[in-house]
A and B are shown apart, each in its own frame.
Chain A
Amino acid sequence: MIEKLMNIDRRYVFILVALAVIIPSLLEVNLPITISQPTRSTYDYIEDLAPGSTLMIGFNYGPSSLAELHPMAKAVIYHCFEKKIRVIGMTLLAEGATLGDEMLKDVAAEAEAVYGEDYVYLGFRPGATQVLLGMGTAIDSVFESDYAETPLAELPMMADIKNYEQIDLVLDLASGSSTEWWITYTNTRYNQQIAAGVTGVIVSQMYPYLQTKQLIGLMPGLLGAAEYESLIGRPAKGTEGMSIQSFAHLLVFGLVVLGNIAFFIQRRQAE
């Protein structure tokens, strides 16, 4: 029995994980969400910004991380438009260019935000370090025009936004090292306030920066999205996903416990 359990075909595990996700999806189960302090700090910071303030969002993720970071982006951007906070979108990764553009357009259509007045999308420029340092001097030295190739000088919103001094918060949505680049080159050098929304894989690396206040807030993966949706009172994909996630976690937890029990029994039998 134990022998069989230890040598179980991993494809049975895949089937169980698939069922743990598909069944709650079909049943549309909703579980309560509790808010963690790092997400609340991000929300509070944005909530306390005066109308007309500026938030810069870095869409530094590709389609492979869209599931975790798109719901987060949607919730934060909607919150900003609702509070009349101006949004500047950009990306340091080529893969993020169209994702950021589509996301801003979708939320703007929902919130009736106007391009060039309420938000601007700068798009992508290669050379992350040079982009981050260049924007500290002048944004238009790096992005002479926006993603649609409209010169920044022709966008009314950009008339009084020259560099980081006019940006109240940078929110980096990241699936890689971009949050560390923002911290290293903009927080350290220009004292720019930064918050981050990152994938589950890299969130553990971000906690030291949170503790030292190099990050003012941190949203961890789909959980961060669900928490932010709860805070703005608009449950969406993040909230739905986290309810389903809980079932998958229970299954993984059960499998880890079962695997350990079988391992220890097998070791005792061998002794």
Chain B
Amino acid sequence: MEWVEIMETVGIWVAALLTLCIYSFLYRDNPFYRFAEHLFVGISVGYFTVLTIHQGLIPFAWDPLAAAFKEKEWVGLVRFIPIGIGLLFFARLAPTHAWLIRYPIAILIGVGSGLAIPNVMRADIFRQIHGTLTPFAELHASGWALGPFQIFGIILMLVGVISTLTYFFFSVEHRGVVGGVSKVGIVFLMIGFGSAFGNTVMGRVSLLIQRVDFLLADWLHLI
């Protein structure tokens, strides 16, 4: 048996045993489950840290600074400014200088909000309003020549949007017409939750299928 094959077999056994450790929680909490859980958390953090150093810190901070020193291109040393601001996050570790952390947080929030707000407004508000109303323009342009199901779908979507928004409008008491419309909104919300639940079941069962396939095929060679 080749070394690679031996390692592959060991890997399959480790994965299979850890899978069984995790599934043992379905019976009840036990040390095997906790061992696998802690192992997973530890490995995930270690992996993320190493990858961030290799794919983030080295190419964006270390390499450019090293090149600037090596080639004596002193302009490259400007990178010390963002690196220094980033290092201020560690000021929290020294209680007397903890206030310095406000500067990197302020910059992060400021830049993040500046980048996000206009784009999110366009993507999630304007485009969605446009998407709700455009079908009516198409309907009008076609001279109401669309099929009955298409017309029903267009109206249903508008009713769904308005009634659901009404449900979340808390400045007016939900009585009378507003109460009725918000109840229609609840129906649309319930349908939405039902759809999300159905898709979640599909997702979770998919994970089980993949693990069962691994155990039966790769580990036990039954299929």
| Interface, chain A (partner B; CB < 8 A) | 11, 14, 17-18, 21-22, 25-26, 28, 64-68, 94-95, 97, 123-127, 129, 133, 144-145, 180, 183-185, 187-189, 199-201, 203-204, 208, 211-214, 220-223, 237, 240-241, 244-245, 248-249, 252
Name the CB-closest residue of A to B131: A212
B interface size (C-beta, 8 A): 44
A203-B199, A204-B196, A241-B213 known; A68 vs B115 contact (CB < 8 Å) = no
How long is the Cα–Cα vector from A226 to B152 in the complex, in angstroms?
31
For residue B4, CB closer than 8 A to chain A, the reply is no
Name the CB-closest residue of B to A14: B26
For residue B210, CB closer than 8 A to chain A, the reply is yes
For residue B48, CB closer than 8 A to chain A, the reply is yes
Asked if B55 and A184 sit within 8 Å, CB to CB, the answer is: no
Excluding A94-B51, A221-B202, 12 further A-B contacts by CB distance (< 8 Å) are A28-B223, A67-B209, A67-B211, A95-B48, A124-B55, A184-B119, A188-B123, A188-B127, A200-B202, A200-B206, A214-B123, A248-B208
For residue B165, CB closer than 8 A to chain A, the reply is no
How long is the Cα–Cα vector from A158 to B207 in the complex, in angstroms?
36
For A67, A68, A126, which residue has the most chain B Cβ atoms within 10 angstroms? A67
Asked if B55 and A97 sit within 8 Å, CB to CB, the answer is: yes
12 of the cross-chain contacts (CB-CB < 8 Å) are A21-B212, A25-B216, A94-B48, A95-B47, A184-B123, A199-B203, A221-B199, A221-B203, A237-B210, A241-B206, A248-B208, A252-B201
Asked if B127 and A200 sit within 8 Å, CB to CB, the answer is: no
- B52: chain A residues at CB < 8 Å are 94, 126
- B44: chain A residues at CB < 8 Å are 95
Asked if B127 and A214 sit within 8 Å, CB to CB, the answer is: yes
Asked if A204 and B192 sit within 8 Å, CB to CB, the answer is: yes
How long is the Cα–Cα vector from A21 to B209 in the complex, in angstroms?
6
How many residue pairs bridge A and B at CB < 8 Å? 133
Asked if A223 and B202 sit within 8 Å, CB to CB, the answer is: yes
For residue B102, CB closer than 8 A to chain A, the reply is no
Name the CB-closest residue of A to B63: A144
Q: Mark B24-63, 1 if CB is under 8 A from A, else 0.
A: 0011000000000000000010011001100110010000
- B210: chain A residues at CB < 8 Å are 66-67, 237, 241
Name the CB-closest residue of B to A211: B131
For residue B150, CB closer than 8 A to chain A, the reply is no
Name the CB-closest residue of A to B210: A67
Asked if A25 and B208 sit within 8 Å, CB to CB, the answer is: no
- A200: chain B residues at CB < 8 Å are 199-204, 206
A95-B44, A124-B55, A237-B213 known; A212 vs B205 contact (CB < 8 Å) = no
Interface residues of B in 182-223 (CB under 8 A from A): 192, 195-196, 199-213, 216, 222-223
Which of B27, B199, B206, B209 contacts A25 (CB under 8 A)?
B209
Name the CB-closest residue of A to B205: A248
Asked if B203 and A26 sit within 8 Å, CB to CB, the answer is: no
Asked if A21 and B192 sit within 8 Å, CB to CB, the answer is: no
Q: How far is the CB of B114 from chain A (nearest CB, A)?
A: 11
Q: Mark B119-154, 1 if CB is under 8 A from A, else 0.
A: 110111001101100000000000000000000000
Q: How far is the CB of B173 from chain A (nearest CB, A)?
A: 29
Q: Which 5 A-B pairs have the closest CB atoms?
A: A200-B203, A67-B210, A212-B131, A200-B202, A200-B199
Asked if B131 and A208 sit within 8 Å, CB to CB, the answer is: yes
Which of B59, B119, B195, B209 contacts A185 (CB under 8 A)?
B119
For residue B91, CB closer than 8 A to chain A, the reply is no
- B120: chain A residues at CB < 8 Å are 184
A21-B209, A200-B202, A204-B192 known; A188 vs B122 contact (CB < 8 Å) = yes
How long is the Cα–Cα vector from A145 to B44 in the complex, in angstroms?
24
- A213: chain B residues at CB < 8 Å are 131
- A97: chain B residues at CB < 8 Å are 51, 55
Name the CB-closest residue of B to A220: B199
- A129: chain B residues at CB < 8 Å are 112, 115-116
How long is the Cα–Cα vector from A209 to B127 in the complex, in angstroms?
9
- B212: chain A residues at CB < 8 Å are 18, 21-22, 25
Name the CB-closest residue of A to B129: A212
